C-alpha cells in the first residue's frame, strides 16, 4: 500500500505526454497519438529506475535509417554524488597510468643523432564539466522505437561540442557509427548525438517570463557564493502572462532558462592559464599575459536580445486558434534550430524538439580550411637555398682571401723592424 508521500513523489516524477500532445496539436506540431501513447508507456518504464528523480520527453531526432526518441532525466542526489566520486577516481587512475607510461618510454639514447624537437606546444585540453553541472547537468536516454531498451548517452566534453559546431552530418540511427569528418570528431555517433542535444537544449529551452526562478533563496545571497551553480526551478507563485504579451513580436515576455554554451564548449569559463601550486612556484618570475574570461548572457535573458538571422527573426510566435481566442495558446517556433517548439497556456509551458538536429545556415555549408603547415626547422642561412656563385665571383673571393693571408705576414715584418729600432735607441 502506497503512502501519501509515495504518491506525491510518483506524481512529481511522472509526465503526462498525452496532455502535452493535446497542446502541441493545436499548433500543428508533435507526433501521432499512437506513437505518443507508446512513448509515454516507455517513459513510464524508464522512470521506474531508482536512480531517476524526474524525467521528461525531450523530443525526437530523425535519422537516415532509424530515428532517436530522447528522454531527459534528472538523477537523484545520491546517484549524482556517487558518479562524481567514481569519475574522480578514474581520473586519478589515468594520471598514474600516464606516469608509468613515461617511465617505460625512458630508454637510453640511440647512437644515431636525434631529430630536431618540435617547437609546437599543444594547448591544454579544456576539462569537461562535472555531472550535474553545466552541459552535463541532465542525463539523456535514447531508443529507436518505443518499447526498445533505453540506452544512456555518455557525458559530453568541450572538444565534442566545439567540433560539432564545425561539421554537419546526418544521423544514421545507429549509435556505434564511426564519424569520418573534418575536423575529426572525437567519438562516434553516440557522442555526436549527445553534443547536438546539449547545443539544442542551450539555445531553445525557453519559457514565459517568471515561469522559472532560483527557488526561495534571495538572489543576492546566492550570488555571494562563488563556484555554486544556480539551477532554475518552477516558480510556485507564477502568474500567467497575458496572451497579448506572449504574442508580442518583440519576444520580450519569453526568456531562456537554459545555460548558454561558451566558445570553450562549457557553460562556465575555464582559465587555461591556471596552474598547480608546484608550477606556480617554478614560474613565479615569468610574467604571462592575463586571459580575459569569456562571459555569456545571464540566465533568463529575453528572446528579444537574440541575434536576428539574415532574412528572418530568430523566433516566430503565433496563436493556436484564431476562432476561440479565450482558450487559445501561444506557440513559439525557433528559426535558428528548425524543429524546436514551445507553448504557453495559462500556468503550463513546455518545450519539444522534432527535427534533424541541425542548425539553420543561410548559405551552403563549407568545411573549415586546412591548418597552416608548421615549419620543420627554424629558418636560417644554414638551411636556406642560395644561388651558386659564378666563375668571376669565385675568382674575386679567392683573391680577397689571398690578400687576407698576406696581410698578417706584412704586419709581423713591420713589428720586427720597429723592435730593432727601439733596441738601437
C-alpha distances in Å from residue 172, one per residue of 65, 67, 144, 160: 5, 8, 11, 18
Q: What single-letter DSSP state applies at residue 28?
A: T
Residue 162 forms part of a structural domain: yes
Residues of the chain with pLDDT > 90: what percent? 43
pTM: 0.78
Domain residues for the domain of 184 are: 9-94+124-218+227-271+292-355
Return the pLDDT at 93: 55
pLDDT band for 140, please (50, 70, 90 cuts): very high
More confidently predicted of 183 and 223: 183
- Segment 360-385 shows an average pLDDT of 77
What per-residue confidence (pLDDT) applies to 63? Answer: 95
Q: For residues 327 and 348, is the Cβ–Cβ distance under 8 A? A: no
Q: Is residue 345 part of a domain?
A: yes
In a domain, 282, yes or no: no
Q: Where do we find the cell 487559445?
A: 328
The answer to whether residue 365 sits within a structural domain is no
pLDDT at 418: 62
State the total domains in the chain. 1
Burial (CB count <10 Å: 0-12, 13-18, 19+), residue 335? middle
DSSP state of 353: E
Q: Which of 23-37, 77-91, 321-335 has the lowest mean pLDDT?
A: 77-91
Report the pLDDT averaged over residues 174-194: 94
* pLDDT recorded at residue 282: 46
- Domain assignment present for residue 415? The answer is no
Question: Does residue 60 contact residue 354 with C-beta atoms inside 8 Å?
Answer: yes
Q: pLDDT at position 92, please?
A: 56
Pairing of strands 52-61, 348-355: parallel
**Residue-level length of the chain:** 425
Q: Is residue 387 part of a domain?
A: no
Stretch 179-196: mean pLDDT: 94
In a domain, 83, yes or no: yes
How far is it, in rounded angstroms, from Cα 61 to Cα 69? 7
User: Residue 413: pLDDT above 70?
Assistant: no
Q: How confident is the model at residue 113 (pLDDT cuts 50, 70, 90)?
A: low
Q: What is the 3-state secondary structure (H, E, C) of 47-107?
A: HCCCCEEEEEEEEEECCCCCCEEEEEEEECHHHHHHHHHHHHHHHHHHHHHHHHHHHHHCC
What is the rounded average pLDDT of the residues 400-422? Answer: 70
Residue 174 lies in a domain: yes
Task: Give the residue from 130, 144, 235, 135 showing the smallest Cα distance to 194.
Answer: 135
Q: What is the pLDDT of residue 151?
A: 95
Amino acid at each position: 500500500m502506497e503512502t501519501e508521500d509515495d504518491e506525491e513523489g510518483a506524481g512529481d516524477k511522472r509526465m503526462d505526454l498525452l496532455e502535452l500532445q493535446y497542446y502541441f496539436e493545436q499548433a500543428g506540431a508533435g507526433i501521432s497519438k499512437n506513437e505518443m501513447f507508446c512513448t509515454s508507456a516507455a517513459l513510464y518504464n524508464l522512470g521506474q529506475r531508482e536512480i531517476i528523480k524526474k524525467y521528461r520527453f525531450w523530443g525526437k531526432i530523425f535519422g537516415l535509417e532509424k530515428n532517436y526518441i530522447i528522454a531527459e532525466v534528472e538523477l537523484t542526489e545520491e546517484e549524482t554524488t556517487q558518479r562524481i566520486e567514481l569519475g574522480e577516481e578514474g581520473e586519478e587512475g589515468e594520471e598514474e597510468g600516464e606516469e608509468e607510461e613515461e617511465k617505460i618510454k625512458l630508454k637510453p639514447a640511440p647512437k644515431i643523432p636525434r631529430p630536431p624537437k618540435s617547437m609546437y606546444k599543444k594547448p591544454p585540453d579544456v576539462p569537461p564539466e562535472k555531472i550535474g553541472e553545466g552541459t552535463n547537468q541532465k542525463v539523456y536516454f535514447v531508443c529507436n522505437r518505443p518499447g526498445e531498451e533505453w540506452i544512456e548517452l555518455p557525458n559530453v566534453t568541450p572538444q565534442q561540442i566545439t567540433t560539432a559546431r564545425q561539421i554537419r552530418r546526418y544521423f544514421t540511427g545507429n549509435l556505434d557509427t564511426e564519424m569520418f569528418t573534418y575536423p575529426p570528431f572525437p567519438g562516434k555517433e553516440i557522442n555526436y548525438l549527445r553534443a547536438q542535444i546539449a547545443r539544442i537544449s542551450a539555445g531553445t529551452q525557453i519559457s514565459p517570463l517568471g515561469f522559472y526562478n532560483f527557488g526561495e533563496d534571495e538572489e543576492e545571497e546566492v550570488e555571494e557564493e562563488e563556484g555554486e551553480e544556480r539551477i532554475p526551478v518552477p516558480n510556485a507563485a507564477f502568474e500567467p502572462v497575458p496572451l497579448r504579451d506572449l504574442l508580442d513580436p518583440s519576444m520580450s515576455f519569453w526568456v531562456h532558462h537554459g545555460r548558454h554554451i561558451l566558445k570553450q564548449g562549457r557553460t562556465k569559463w575555464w582559465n587555461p592559464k591556471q596552474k598547480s601550486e608546484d608550477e606556480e612556484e617554478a614560474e613565479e618570475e615569468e610574467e604571462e599575459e592575463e586571459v580575459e574570461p569569456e562571459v555569456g548572457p545571464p540566465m533568463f535573458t529575453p528572446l528579444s536580445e537574440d541575434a536576428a538571422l539574415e532574412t528572418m527573426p530568430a523566433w516566430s510566435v503565433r496563436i493556436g486558434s484564431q476562432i476561440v481566442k479565450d482558450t487559445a495558446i501561444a506557440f513559439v517556433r525557433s528559426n535558428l534550430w528548425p524543429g524546436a517548439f514551445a507553448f504557453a497556456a495559462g500556468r503550463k509551458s513546455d518545450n519539444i524538439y522534432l527535427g534533424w538536429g541541425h542548425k539553420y545556415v543561410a548559405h551552403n555549408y563549407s568545411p573549415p580550411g586546412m591548418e597552416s603547415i608548421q615549419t620543420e626547422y627554424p629558418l636560417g642561412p644554414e638551411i636556406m637555398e642560395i644561388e651558386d656563385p659564378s666563375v668571376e665571383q669565385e675568382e674575386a673571393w679567392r683573391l680577397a682571401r689571398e690578400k687576407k693571408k698576406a696581410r698578417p705576414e706584412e704586419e709581423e715584418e713591420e713589428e720586427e723592424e720597429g723592435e730593432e729600432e727601439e733596441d738601437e735607441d
